[in-house]
Amino acid sequence: MEILSGILSFTFLAQIFRMMTPYYLGASGANFSERAGVINISIEGFMNMAAFSFAVFSIFTGNSILALVLCLIVNIILSIVFSLFTVTLKINQIVTGVGFNLLIAGITKFLMVLFFSSSSNTPRISVHPDMAFSITLFAIALILISIHLLYKTKFGLRLRSAGENPWAAESLGVKVMKYKYAGVIISGLLSALGGIWLVSSQNNYSDGMIAGRGYIALAAMIIGKWKPLNIFFACLMFAAFEALEITLQISGADIPTQLIQMLPYLITILVLIGFIGKTKPPAADGIPY
Amino acid sequence: MSHHSKANTLSVLLSLIFTFMILTILILLIGKDPVEVYSLIYNDVFTSGYGIGQTLFKATPLIFIACGLAICFHASLFNIGAEGQLNAGSFVIALTAVQIESLPLILKLLICACAGFAAAGLVGLIPAVTKVKKGVSEVISTIMMNFVVLAVINYRMVDFFAVKSTLRTVSIGDDSLLGKASDLFPFFEGSSLNVSFIAALVVAALVYILIYKTTFGYKLRAVGFNETASRYIGVKVNKMILTSFFVGAGITALVGINYIFGYKGYYELGFSNNIGFTAIAVSLLAKNNPVGIIFSSILFAALDYGGLAVNQLIPKEVMLVVQGLIILSILSSDSIVQSYFKKRGLI
């Protein structure tokens, strides 16, 4: 009964919206990239890089707004390198993604020890008190922004054409390469915000703090069928699982939380198999152009 | 040497040189002497029996996993799920070993290896079946399976099998442990190198024969090269996908033999430490050739162990950066060298 009232409270609802933030930012980012035809399984790594660099910049500059800007620049560079591999050199996108995830995990671990002589976490960071909340608000506004950008603007139409049929798009004068780069860079920026949110809400960076959120974001994108609003609901569902898990852990109820942790991934597989509606990725998703 | 193997050798060399250069710059940036760092690595890894033993010990699991993955990769199946597969296999190996404690060691090993193989293979079969039946991309489903498998193990483990206040299973008993290399050759004194390394070499040889010298391997590569064309020449593509996933995933379970029978005596949560992903890089560097995998595994293991050797000068995590750099530089140098050769009509 206590658990039930815990779940039905307003704080629990607020908790869900908070926890949705990194998922939705990552998932929207991945969506922009895939809409342009580039599969980015490196969202996890992008978030990790951003979280780490934001923490480092905050500590060294003492100004979290400046740190945010610097962190976004780092992720833009990272995205450009990722596009260089996947778009310009046409290297397999999955393998590149795995490589980026490994390299970023290595870089962050290495710099952690180098800067803070600790392999687990940074010292406490004082982040601007409104940072986490503003990012959550932005994430909610992002639903409308994505819908507008993808479906109501020339940019969105051309971006999607790069992911559906790049050959036809190019023949009509669309600079396909440019849009693919744009898609990946947007994914880098949005996942960076996800990483920054994690650091600002926990007030430090710790090794492994992304904890698979980048992959859950990919899962949400698939369940949301590459559509901004649907993706949002998928993220809300996953955030609810996470909030539930925490509530259960605190209450000490005899329900195995590991199995709740597993749900996002299991549901994704079930959705992919077709138990819950049909899914259809962009037609030229993952195919180098 | 054909132009193909020339191109391959060239790109591997280029990427290693590039990585070496970046590492040197990195060491200089930190303000340390590269010569000192490299001689430390050399002395620790290659001149002591302990160092060589530890390097080969660390190479063993990489050889197993990368060989398993190579089978999938040759069929152009992106199995990103080794981490889940090898954990499922190792977990089952540890549980089985305890159940059949009284059997003679060799029989016990065989039964455990088969049980682990089957468990890991079944985990690998799920993405294969969903791919064949529903056209689900194996990339996404293997990633998701990693999390599902680890959560299930975590649940079963913590609630049923773990030794109190630890994250490991009960020990399989000291007399079940495999012989250490140092028992025969005192040269390796103190290192954990054990018979599993020989087993890894045998597996690599078998996988080599399977891929390059059998009809199965021929069909496997045909599917990887051009699925539609191989369907037309009568290859049962779906059957190939299912078998290669089952066998490839199954082989990854053998790391459990090295870890449980050769080293710790129990399964511990988190023992794999993302080695399933590192093995992807190992296999790529070797162009998915099992003989090459032996060498690239030893290289990665030497880096891993070399990191410990230089830890007093630079954080050992630098080797994780190096491993990441190797995979990205091999990918890019491959692409550049290939297009250079193609432009000149050589391949």
- The mean of the pLDDT values for chain B is 92
The reply to whether A101 falls in a domain is yes
Structure confidence at residue A6 (pLDDT): 63
pLDDT mean over B22-31: 93
The enclosing domain of A68 has a CATH number of 1.10.3470
Give B-chain residues touching A112 at CB under 8 angstroms.
Answer: 317
Give A-chain residues touching B70 at CB under 8 angstroms.
Answer: none
pLDDT tens-digit readout, B69-116: 999 999 999 999 999 999 999 999 999 999 998 899 999 999 999 999
Percent of chain A with pLDDT over 90: 73
Domain that holds residue B99: 61-302
By C-alpha distance, the chain A residue nearest B137 is A272
pLDDT mean over A169-180: 94
The reply to whether B40 falls in a domain is no
pLDDT mean over B304-317: 91
The reply to whether B273 falls in a domain is yes
Question: With contact defined as beta carbons under 8 Å apart, do B193 and B182 qualify?
Answer: yes
Domain that holds residue A107: 2-122+129-273
The reply to whether B130 falls in a domain is yes
- DSSP at B254: T
Which range has the worst mean pLDDT, A19-33, A269-283, B46-60, B72-86?
A269-283
The reply to whether A288 falls in a domain is no
B240, pLDDT greater than 70: yes
B318 to chain A, closest Cα gap in Å: 5
Q: Where residue A277 falls among pLDDT bands split at 50, 70, 90?
A: low
How far apart CA B347 and CA B341 sit, in angstroms, is 6
Q: Where residue B136 falls among pLDDT bands split at 50, 70, 90?
A: confident
Give A-chain residues touching B134 at CB under 8 angstroms.
Answer: 272-274
The reply to whether B237 falls in a domain is yes
Tell me if chain A has a CB within 8 Å of the CB of B277.
yes
The reply to whether B315 falls in a domain is no
pLDDT mean over A101-115: 94
By C-alpha distance, the chain B residue nearest A98 is B277
Q: Which helix (H) or strand (E) holds B61?
A: helix B49-74
Is the model more confident about A244 or about A155? A155
Structure confidence at residue B346 (pLDDT): 79
A221 to chain B, closest Cα gap in Å: 11
Assign 3-class secondary structure to chain A.
CHHHHHHCCHHHHHHHHHHHHHHHHHHHHHHHHHHCCCCCCCHHHHHHHHHHHHHHHHHHHCCHHHHHHHHHHHHHHHHHHHHHHHHHCCCCHHHHHHHHHHHHHHHHHHHHHHHHCCCCECCCCCCCCCHHHHHHHHHHHHHHHHHHHHHCCHHHHHHHHHHHCHHHHHHCCCCHHHHHHHHHHHHHHHHHHHHHHHHHHHCCCECCCCCCHHHHHHHHHHHCCCCHHHHHHHHHHHHHHHHHHHHHHHHCCCCCHHHHHHHHHHHHHHHHHCCCCCCCCCCCCCCCC
Q: Which residues pair with B194 in a beta bridge?
A: B180
pLDDT tens-digit readout, B186-232: 888 888 899 999 999 999 999 999 999 999 999 999 999 999 999 99
Q: Give me the number of domains chain A comprises.
A: 1
The reply to whether A284 falls in a domain is no
Q: Give the A window 77-96 contacts with B, CB below 8 Å.
A: 85, 89-92, 94-96
The reply to whether A99 falls in a domain is yes
Question: With contact defined as beta carbons under 8 Å apart, do A90 and A288 qualify?
Answer: yes
Structure confidence at residue B164 (pLDDT): 82
Identify the residue whose tokens are 């890991």.
Answer: B120
Is the model more confident about B71 or about B47? B71
B113 to chain A, closest Cα gap in Å: 27
Which range has the worst mean pLDDT, A213-217, A255-259, A276-280, B224-228?
A276-280
> Are B134 and A89 within 8 A, CB to CB?
no
Tell me if chain B has a CB within 8 Å of the CB of A199.
no
The reply to whether B67 falls in a domain is yes
- DSSP at B187: G
- DSSP at B165: T
Q: What angle do CA A174, A176, A180 make, to 5 degrees?
A: 140
Structure confidence at residue B266 (pLDDT): 93
> Are A268 and B140 within 8 A, CB to CB?
yes
A182 to chain B, closest Cα gap in Å: 21
pLDDT tens-digit readout, A224-239: 999 999 999 999 999 9
Token pair in block for residue A59: 């500590």
The reply to whether B56 falls in a domain is no
Give A-chain residues touching B278 at CB under 8 angstroms.
Answer: 102
> Are B317 and A39 within 8 A, CB to CB?
no
Tell me if chain B has a CB within 8 Å of the CB of A287.
no
The reply to whether B8 falls in a domain is no
pLDDT mean over A177-198: 97
